[in-house]
Amino acid sequence: MEKFKDECGIVAVSMKNHIDVAELVFFGLSGLQHRGQQSVGLAVASGGVISCYKDTGLVTEVLDEKILTLLKGDMALGHVKYGPETESFQIFAQPLVINYKNGSIAVAFNGALTNGKALRGQMEDNGVIFSTKTDCEVVAALVARHDKGDIGVALKEMMKEVKGGYAVGVMTQDAIIGARDPLGIRPLALGKINGGYALASESCAFDMMEGDFVRDIKPGEIVIIKNDDLHSINTIDTATTTPKRAMCSFEYVYFARPDSIIDGKDVYKVRETAGKTLAMESPANADIVLGVPDSGTPAAIGYSLGAGIPFRQGLIKNKYIGRTFIQPTKLQREIGVRIKLNPIKSIVEGKSVVLVDDSIVRGTTMRKIISSIKGVGAKEVHLRICSPPIRYSCFFGVDTPDIKDFIASDHTIDEIRDELGADSLAFISTEGLLSSLGGSASSSIEGTGYCTGCFCGSYPLDVD
């Protein structure tokens, strides 16, 4: 794994008297494909009946025209998933549909519960049977247990029991519900489409559905959409609790699409600002600035603006190398990165280059990129990374490798520089990243708190 992988994306739409909302969710999920490429699922509700289709694969592979023709309803809940290899089976795809005493519900989940195993064990001791090891199934079981006829109350009781970073989408036979964890670690947004409402992990999904972004779901908020009406429940008692926020800072570094707005922050502008900050913190004497496409490009443009060094598109990405691309022979493995990212000789030859990327996890790919740039004649490569060194695992819904595989976990900056073959190396400081976000770590100030656990090892929640 050369980048962290976010595990899920959620899209839900409710439009009274419209039976083709599944097509809208299809487009919304396509806009969130970057959040998960392992499996796709879509559930629809029509006439009090919930139907669901899900499978492993990409959105366009799973939800083809034939399937969408069969999924008719005026409410729909969709999900894209990325997870560990052990969950590369259809049974782990979401939404999860369960039948219980009050009817049926579909549940889609993004994030991770820090007490999920404990809750599962308690319910298993009481006779509850689970078919997977997913936190989604724990959430679904808790909602069903607490549903006494008021789904809002059931969600509120569930949120009292679970701990972690999460966003949840629930579809009953007559309503769509969204909920976000009390610290707002994982994102969830509200939109409007032709008089109806929509929920999505990122605002870019509303653009794909030709809808409008309304606002972010607040930390600890539950929204219930029924008959095109919206009802909000705040689960945080502000009279006795000082609200805190700890939005995942890595959403802005890498996970989110640059055309999204999360918690009032334009993701592209944050990355560009971080690039400018990095240029001020760690200048380099160079001729041109290159970005590692696509995620490193906004930061590279920011670095160029901050340093006054021209930005050039000197790395070309092959957009047709899909997720199933394999490298069976030694030669193919050696040139695999060159196939995906090829430097333009006429741009880099004889130049001192600043190479900007969003993050480094293992460093294997970066080593090959630097080698390929020098291989076409670059005099120097000064590597600049627009996140602090990643040294710790995430426990709130991001699939991360073993900590021993992080190059920064047991190497100094100089050792990483030498390992990668760069002429110089610098990471943005944690303070610089937070200043680009206009906030601080786990702040109690409204809207300014961010989780930086993967950088510093200090988490907003206990992770025992």
Cβ neighbors of 3 (< 8 A, separation 6 or more) are 254, 295, 359, 361
On the 0-12 / 13-18 / 19+ scale of CB atoms within 10 A, 404 is: exposed
End residue of a domain, out of 213, 242, 271 = 242
pLDDT tens digit string along 415-426?
A: 999 999 999 999
Q: What is the mean pLDDT of residues 278-290?
A: 98
pLDDT-derived band at 238, boundaries 50, 70, 90: confident
Q: What is the mean pLDDT of residues 121-146?
A: 95
DSSP 353-401: EEEEES--SS-HHHHHHHHHHHHTT-SEEEEEESSPPP-S---SSEE--
- 235 and 267 share one domain: no
- Whose structure tokens read 């999924």? 71
> Would residue 336 count as lying in a domain?
yes
* Average confidence (pLDDT) over 109-125: 96
21 lies in the same domain as 133: yes
pLDDT tens digits, one per residue of 197-227: 999 999 999 999 999 999 999 999 999 999 9
Residue closest to 386 by CA, chosen among 260, 264, 259, 249: 249
21 and 5 in contact (C-beta within 8 Å)? no
* Rounded-to-integer distance, Cα 140 and Cα 221, Å: 18
Q: Which residue range forms the structural domain that includes residue 306?
A: 261-434
Q: In the predicted model, is pLDDT for residue 448 greater than 80?
A: no
* Position 31, amino acid: G
Q: So what's the pLDDT on residue 328?
A: 47
pLDDT at 424: 98
CA dist., res. 15 & res. 185, Å (int)? 28
More confident residue, 74 or 334: 74
What rounded mean pLDDT belongs to the chain? 91
**What is the token pair recorded at 77?**
């809940």
8, 136, 248, 451: the catalytic one is 8
Instruction: Give yes or no for residue 4 having a pLDDT over 90.
Output: no
Distance CA 45, CA 132 (A): 24
E strands present in 70-188? 75-81, 96-100, 103-113, 164-171, 176-180
Statement to judge: residues 73 and 131 lie in one domain = yes
**Where does the pLDDT of residue 323 fall: very low under 50, low under 70, confident under 90, or very high at 90 and above?**
very low
Look at residue 429 and tell me if it is in a domain.
Answer: yes
- Tell me whether residue 38 is in a domain: yes
| pLDDT for residue 326 | 40
Cα 155 vs. chain centroid, distance in angstroms? 23
Specify whether 198 is located in the same domain as 98: yes
394 is catalytic: no
Instruction: Judge if 291 and 210 occupy the same domain.
Output: no
pLDDT band at 325 (very low <50, low <70, confident <90, very high): very low
Determine, yes or no, domain membership for 84. Answer: yes
**Averaged pLDDT, 422-445:** 86
Q: Which of 216, 134, 186 is nearest to 398 (CA)?
A: 186
Domain harbouring 114, CATH code: 3.60.20.10
Report the number of secondary-structure helices (H) and strands (E) in the chain: 16, 26
pLDDT reported for residue 239 = 74
What's the rounded mean pLDDT across residues 231-243? 84
- Give the DSSP letter string of 313-355: --EEE-TT--TT----SHHHHHHHHHHHEEE-HHHHTT-EEEE
**Does residue 78 contact residue 19 with C-beta atoms inside 8 Å?**
no
Residue ending a domain, among 212, 242, 272, is: 242
Residue 456 lies in a domain: no
CATH code of the domain containing 402: 3.40.50.2020
Asked if residue 12 lies in contact with residue 406, where contact means CB atoms within 8 angstroms, the answer is no
Q: Give percent of the chain with pLDDT exceeding 70.
A: 91
Residue 91 inside a domain? The answer is yes
Query: Residue 283: is its pLDDT beyond 70?
Result: yes
Q: Are residues 163 and 52 in the same domain?
A: yes
Q: What's the confidence (pLDDT) of residue 82?
A: 85
Distance of CA 50 to the CA centre of its chain: 27
Same-domain status, 285 and 387: yes
The whole-number pLDDT of residue 263 equals: 95
Nearest to 357 by CA among 334, 329, 380, 387: 387
From 208, 242, 276, give the residue that closes a domain: 242
Which pLDDT band holds residue 398 (cuts at 50, 70, 90)?
confident
Asked whether residue 66 falls in the same domain as residue 123, the answer is: yes
153 and 33 in a common domain: yes
Q: Is the pLDDT of residue 88 over 90?
A: no
Averaged over 391-404, what is the pLDDT? 83
Number of domains in the chain: 2
Q: Does 105 lie in the same domain as 50? A: yes
Asked if the structure places residue 256 within a domain, the reply is no
In a domain, 138, yes or no: yes
Q: What is the mean pLDDT of residues 7-27?
A: 94
Q: pLDDT tens across 152-176, in order?
A: 999 999 999 999 999 999 999 999 9
Tell me the pLDDT tens digit for each residue of 224-233: 999 989 999 9
Question: Is residue 291 located within the same domain as residue 382?
Answer: yes
- In this structure, are 282 and 204 located in the same domain? no
